[in-house]
Amino acid sequence: MFSLSSQKKYWTFNNEQHLNELRKKQNEKFQETHGEAETEDNRLDYFLDSSEERLLLKQYEIYLNDFCRRFEPIMPKCVVGTSFHYFKRFYLHNSPMDFHPKEILATCVYLACKVEEFNVSIGQFVNNIKGDRNKAMDIILSNELLLMQHLNYYLTVHNPYRPIEGFLIDIKTRSSLTNAERLRQHIDDFIEKSFFTDACLLYAPSQIALAAVLHAASREQENLDSYVTDILFNGAREKLPLLVEAIRKIRLMVKQYEIPARDKVKTIEKKLEKCRNQENNPDSEM
């Protein structure tokens, strides 16, 4: 159950401000450690600031999703969701200047395959990676334990997919909506977009699932408000205001998401190659 899970206890946060503070703290920590001899002005020019790191990680979340979509054999949705969770969690407590996201990304997906019991060998996995596959294999295997350590070994992830199925069955059984299956494509699109936001670090999977279902209904010019108030929460009306506010915020986060500007990301990536921790660079001679 999510309410008793490590995800709820350790990886669900009160608000976006808390997440931003954690990310900023890691950025400052890296700069203090690796730029102690630099003036403040030099640090600003040389290192990534927290907003640049955030933009960079947003771009790599797109790469993560693209990698999972192209993966052969076809990757189950739960593996994709768990990969996103691992990636986001890792960079709450680490700077991308310390660990380059292109290396952590593949490790997150590989670990998610194992945890979600999507059985692919490391050989099959790296066949989906362009370039030097032996090198990719070495990087993934050497980072796997590091990733688990930074996740504090809390590897079980509750994704919104199971609650979605529950809602769809319930809607078919107890609501007046006809052909609930027509909601599914809109739901899938919403969930995919939600993983590009911080929703999974702030809200319960069931809240994200319900937000997706209500969004899908609105796209089909349907209204499920009475289903939520009169059926789903019949006898628990006191919980409705908090739920309504959570769903409103989730839908707003998804609506306001913007794809990073590619030219800005390229500039940040060039800057990262100079300021990254060379001790964690597999191409470095250090």
pLDDT at 179: 94
What average pLDDT does the chain have? 95
Q: Give the confidence band of 286 by pLDDT, cuts at 50, 70, 90.
A: low
pTM of model > 0.75: yes
Domains of the chain: 2-157+261-275 (1.10.472.10), 160-256 (1.10.472.10)
Q: Which among 286, 194, 196 has a CA at the least distance from the CA of 249? A: 194
Token pair of 122 as six digits? 């490391």
Exposure on the CB side of residue 84, measured as CA atoms within 13 A: 27
Residue-wise over 158-174: b if at least 16 C-beta within 10 A, else e? bbbbebbeebbeebeee
Mean pLDDT value of segment 66-82: 98
pLDDT tens per residue across span 198-214: 999 999 999 999 999 99
Amino acid residing at 186: H
Model confidence pLDDT, tens digit, residues 159-200: 999 999 999 999 999 999 999 999 999 999 999 999 999 999
Of the candidates 265, 249, 245, which has an alpha carbon nearest to the alpha carbon of residue 257? 249
The Cα–Cα gap between 96 and 148 comes to: 17
Residue 140 predicted with pLDDT over 80 = yes
SS3 47: coil
- Residue 127's pLDDT band (cuts 50, 70, 90): very high
